[in-house]
Amino acid sequence: MLRTGMGEGNTPLIPSTRIGPELGLHNLWFKLENTNPSGSYKDRFVTAELARPGNEGIRGCLATSSGNTGSSLAACCARYQLPCTIVVNHQVPEGKLIQMKAHGANVIRVEGFAESPATTSAVFDTLGRLSTGRHLTLVVSAYRYCPVGMAGVESLGRELAAASDGPPSHVFVPVGGGGLYCAVTRGLASTPARVHAVQPHGCSTVAAAFKRGDGEIRPVESTTRISGLAVPFDIDASRALKLLCQNGGQAFEVSDDEIFKAQRALLQLEGIFAEPAGATALAGLATAAARRLVSRDEKVVCLVTGSGFKDPGSLATAAARHPDQLIPEACLERVILEQLGEGSI
């Protein structure tokens, strides 16, 4: 069995300083999964999956990823000298692609993967066939494919349950494939916490089914720009929907613009360096707060699932709102005073 720990888990749970009060909430907290070694909660998954019984002496790894699983796996395989090949969609953000390749992974972009059901099914068939009999492990961050690895993510919920001031009343979770929602809910099963699902409107599988009330996950045509949450068919979505109904949580659809706004709020009001997917939970909370679905004194937790460096394009857009200046030295004092609101001397 591989020893794959890289210091994942036990991530900070920090109180909001500005966003909570602006939303009328006195007890808002952020769970900083962006501080895991490779920058996302997927380190919990990869660690557990590679350490599972049956992986002794594996020759290498095959994987599919929208970015963060691949980044985490590439880092872990570099540490333990395992070759890995990662199949990704052709639109993976450059930050995630660079991270995978920098660790030495073999990355293959397949047109239509994670968009076309037929192409996606064919990719999984090919990887499954290649892994069988070659002592390669197939790594997919979903209970459907890797239940042991996903059970490792349940530690996130258990950490929230064990918080020193008690478990939260509400937890907001971004949903793509649905596995993270399942893991957090299971980790919090011993508590009365209500776990809410938040999805982009442009790729709403769980939230749309919850709204319809028919219990059916239908494939959708994904139009979202939020990397990591564009999973337009059922992987763990049915499991997530079932747990959502049992848990008493709500499902929220939010626009991409609302997610980018939440990302900027985390960056500029809380100092939290998050990618758009990592800000999606906050976008859902903003909707819930506007509808008065959470009380001001209830303990609320938003998951921040991935680091800002994963999606440099979104960071560049946020940074463009605050341009720098190139000035001669003689103007320095005047410009500083102007920025401080004190006017020119």
**Are residues 131 and 53 both part of a single domain?**
yes
297-314 mean pLDDT: 96
Cα 133 from Cα 197, distance rounded (Å)? 38
The band of 204, judged by pLDDT with boundaries at 50, 70 and 90, is very high
Task: Report the share of the chain in percent with pLDDT over 70.
Answer: 98
Residues 6+ apart with CB under 8 A from 221: 232
The reported pLDDT for the residue numbered 108 is 95
CA distance 241 to 202: 18
Tell me the per-residue pLDDT of 20-77, one tens digit each, with 9 for 90 and over.
999 999 999 999 999 999 999 999 999 999 999 888 888 999 999 888 999 999 999 9
pTM: 0.94
Domain span including residue 314:
13-32+150-319
The answer to whether 147 and 52 are in contact (CB under 8 A) is no
Centroid of chain to Cα 258: 16
Residues 187, 288: one domain? yes
**Are both 58 and 129 inside the same structural domain?**
yes
Q: Are 313 and 93 in contact, with CB atoms under 8 Å apart?
A: yes
Residues 125 and 258 reside in one and the same domain: no
Number of domains forming the structure of the chain? 2
Closest alpha carbon to 269 in 48, 55, 30, 58: 30
pLDDT over threshold 70, residue 345? no
- Is residue 154 included in any domain, yes or no? yes
Q: Are residues 175 and 236 in the same domain?
A: yes
Q: pLDDT over 90 for what percent of the chain?
A: 83
Predicted pLDDT of residue 119: 85
pLDDT digits (tens, 9 = 90+) for 1-26: 566 688 999 999 999 999 999 999 99
Q: How high is the pLDDT of residue 117?
A: 73
The pLDDT tens digits of the residues spanning 103-156 come to: 999 999 998 887 777 888 899 899 999 998 788 999 999 999 999 999 999 999
